[in-house]
Amino acid sequence: MWFVELVTNTVRNLWAHKLRSFLTMFGISWGVASIIFMMAIGDGFKIGYRRALYELGTDIVIVWGGRTAGQVGDQRAGRDVVLTRDDVQAIQREYSLVKHVSPELDRELQVASPHNNGLFSTHGIAPV
């Protein structure tokens, strides 16, 4: 008996405050849907990133030059590290587990004509 009274009062209150009830239900639905969509987008990015890395290949190590973060020995922190062709040859010579080594050259080209111009990035690798 008390359950029927509870349900009746609930339905009366929902009916008396239709807009408030609708907006509350809509807000809850919107929040749940937003969380589901965000999780789906995150999973899609994760799957796409893994697929792109798999297409690049497996058992690959990529090394770039850069700038040192800390001081080592008598070398100052923040110095530039530039990799050269000698480094590629040293890796080939000294590491027997490395099957292939290929340097990459990356340059930007400024191209201009009387009507337009652009900055293009070019990449070149040595054949393995």
pLDDT along the chain (128 residues), means of 10: 90 91 95 97 95 86 81 75 88 88 87 91 85
Q: What is the pLDDT of residue 80?
A: 83
Polymer length of the chain:
128
Asked whether residue 61 is domain-assigned, the answer is no
Asked whether residue 8 falls in the same domain as residue 47, the answer is yes
Would you call 82 helix, strand, or coil by DSSP? coil
What's at 49, amino acid-wise? Y
Asked whether residue 76 falls in the same domain as residue 52, the answer is no
Task: Return the axis-axis angle of helices 2-16 and 18-56, rounded to nearest 10°.
Answer: 90
Q: What is the pLDDT of residue 76?
A: 76
Q: Which two tokens stand for residue 60?
A: 């690959």
Q: What is the pLDDT of residue 46?
A: 95
- What is the Cα 71 distance to its own chain's centre? 30
Q: What is the pLDDT of residue 44?
A: 95
Structural domains of the chain, count: 2
Asked whether residue 114 falls in the same domain as residue 87, the answer is yes
Q: Structural domain of residue 115, as residue ranges? A: 66-125
Put simply, whether the predicted model's pTM sits higher than 0.85 gets the answer no
Q: What is the pLDDT of residue 86?
A: 92
Task: Kindly write down the DSSP assignment for every residue of 3-18, as one continuous string.
Answer: HHHHHHHHHHHHHHTH
